[in-house]
Amino acid sequence: MERLRRENYLKRFSILFILASVSFTILILCFALYEIVKYRDIIYKEKAQHEYSQKKDTINKYYKNYKQLLKSIKTNPLFTNYIINPSQENLKNSISLFESFISFDKHITQLRYIDIKGQEQIRIDRPNISSDYKIIENLNLQNKEHRDYFEKSINLPKNEVYTSKIDLNIENKKIEIPYKPVIRFAVPIFEETKRVGVLIINIFAEELLDTIKESKDFDVTVYDQDKEVLVSNNNLQNEWTRYLKKKRVINTNSIIFEDLLIKSSDYESLFISLSSKNWLNRFLTFFDYKIFLLFALIILIAFLSAYYLARIPKNLFDKITSQQKLLIQQSKTSAMGEMIAILAHQWRQPLNQISVLIQEIEFKKQLNLLSDEEFNTISSKIKNSLSYLSHTINDFRDFLKPSKNKKPFNILDTIKDTIKLIESNFINNKIEYEIITESKNPSKEYHLFSFENEFKHVIINILNNSIDALKMQNEEKNKKVIINLSSNKNSISIEISDNGGGIEDSIKDKIFEPYKSTKEAQQGTGLGLYMSKLIIENSFQGKISAKNLDNKAVFTITLYKDLI
């Protein structure tokens, strides 16, 4: 019979009912979430496509603006006069023209004219977006004949504008810090049909990229045709992975929308991907307060239902508890009767001995044959018998005393003490017993902290069953009870066997049920083994079982060290 604890049952029933209700609610909400997500994903894709269109339009306008700016400079009379006649006056006018453009637009970081040989003729620099521009003197002008952007732009057809890839600005062969994203636009300059140079404008692209990656609803990542990331508004994403040699992390599974953003003349294609932001934010966005209110209401109903439904079996448990208490009391009364019978039997011999000794004293006293020495001898024998009686009654009193608190005890020693209480039963019925231990250190391995007297009750119940079974054997044979103790890291095993013929098949599977006795109908109550099972399982958190093996009844008790 499984252990029944009302408190545990009510607690488990309530928890299981609440979990079932909440699980059912979650299942319904998950289904609703699935449908909502499907609908919202459609909306998100449309929204992502709309943002993409806006961002693509922004970058196209940006590129178009600076291409138009180059053409405006290229066709301006002040610059064309310089190309036709590079006099000092025309040079000054061209520089003034360049100044007017660079002062008007703070995003221009460099504006140059380079002749057909790659030599800079006019150059105005702005170190950063917040600083003033600076005209570079002739002595500091450089030759850019072998620079990639010069070689590509000088050979372009007339009126075609070169656009570089977006990269980080490099000074003295090192990436400038703080990082400065730069785009270069260049257009070839012709004097009528003769190619004479290149007009180049460098643009700070940081604000452009910030505008492109800005989004409230999406994680935006801009990357090239090789999946190398330029910028992203996701803090977990590395930027400028190609130039800074960082690991690129593009989670394609979360991408809602991606497409080509723009192509440059440097064979660079920029793509943009829009991914859903943190799943929790999306989840919270999907559900308004009404759904959360419904969820809270269902949980409240589940709690109240669990409470009231758990009260239904209360009476059943009360009855079971009452019956168990009654059975325990009956078992104790029966055990007490058996123990009193054993006590009376153990007292009979010493009481007879005391009676004989007293009669001997009286007889010898009447005949004046009682010497002092003989009186002392008889007196000593009486005292020894009385001492035996006193020890016996103390042992039985300790055994019958209820165990309210746990205390340390050694199983081997407790079994030996228990056998002393009923040793006369073994002797009178000519039954041998043997205790076998497999431990080299029994004082340590068989040590427990629990209810010792309850353990004694269990051992006495099993031993009494063995004695009763052996008493019913008519044939003369070696009657024996063997107690085998073993221990491992996690548990202690006590195996009690007797050669009394085993347990009858009719009751073998019900031996631990109440009122199922192994004894004759008039001899047993059928509560001893039932009580033993309750004690082992409830007080010791262990197991007890019975089986037949080689015509022997074998009872096995397993106690778990970590549960006691």
Show the CA angle centred on residue 391, arms to residues 431 and 524, nearest 5°: 45
Distance CA 175, CA 154 (A): 25
Residue 463, sorted as left (phi over 0), alpha (psi -120 to 50) or beta, turns out to be alpha
Reading the block at residue 176, the tokens are 């400038």
Closest-CA residue to 525 (of 323, 337, 320, 343): 337
pLDDT per position as a tens digit, 402-458: 666 788 999 999 999 888 878 878 888 888 999 998 777 777 788 888 888 888 888
For residue 114, CA distances in Å to 83, 144, 163, 195, 203 come to 11, 8, 16, 12, 17
pLDDT at 87: 95
User: pLDDT tens digits for 524-549?
Assistant: 455 678 878 888 888 888 999 999 98
Q: 183: exposed, middle or buried (C-beta count within 10 Å: 0-12, 13-18, 19+)?
A: buried
List the structure tokens of 21: 């209700």
pLDDT of residue 345: 56
pLDDT for 168 equals 92
Side chain identity, residue 492: I
- Calculate the alpha carbon distances from 348 to 153, 388, 491 in Å: 127, 12, 41
pTM: 0.48
Which pair of tokens denotes residue 503?
A: 């347990």
User: Among 495, 488, 494, which Cα is nearest to 411's?
Assistant: 494
Q: Which pairs from 470-479 meet CB under 8 Å and 24+ separation?
A: 470/429, 470/431, 470/498, 470/499, 470/500, 471/429, 472/500, 472/520, 473/500, 473/501, 478/432, 479/429, 479/430, 479/431, 479/432
Instruction: Name the nearest CA neighbour of 487 among 535, 545, 437.
Output: 437
DSSP symbol at 236? T
Does the structural domain 43-277 have CATH classification 3.40.50.1820?
A: no
**Backbone φ/ψ region at 418: left (φ over 0), alpha (ψ -120 to 50), beta:** alpha
φ/ψ bin of 20: left (φ > 0), alpha (ψ from -120 to 50), beta (otherwise): alpha
> What is the amino acid identity at position 541?
Q
**Coil, strand or helix at 154:** helix
Query: Selecting from 1.10.3260.10, 3.30.565.10, 3.30.2310.20, 3.20.20.100, what CATH number does the domain 403-560 have?
Result: 3.30.565.10
* Residue among 234, 168, 181 at smallest CA distance from 207: 181
Strands (E), 132-217: 134-135, 162-163, 167-168, 170-171, 174-175, 181-191, 194-204
pLDDT of res. 521: 42
Q: Which two tokens stand for residue 41?
A: 């994903």
Structural domain spans, the chain: 43-277, 403-560
What's the CA gap between 490 and 50, in Å, rounded?
A: 67
Residues 206, 194: Cα–Cα separation, whole Å: 36
- The segments of the chain whose pLDDT lies below 50 read 1-7, 280, 521-524
Which pLDDT score, from 0 to 100, does residue 191 have? Answer: 92
Match 């002797």 to its residue by tokens. 427
State how beta strands 108-115 and 120-125 pair: antiparallel
- Whether the ω angle into residue 178 lies within 30 degrees of 0, i.e. cis, is yes
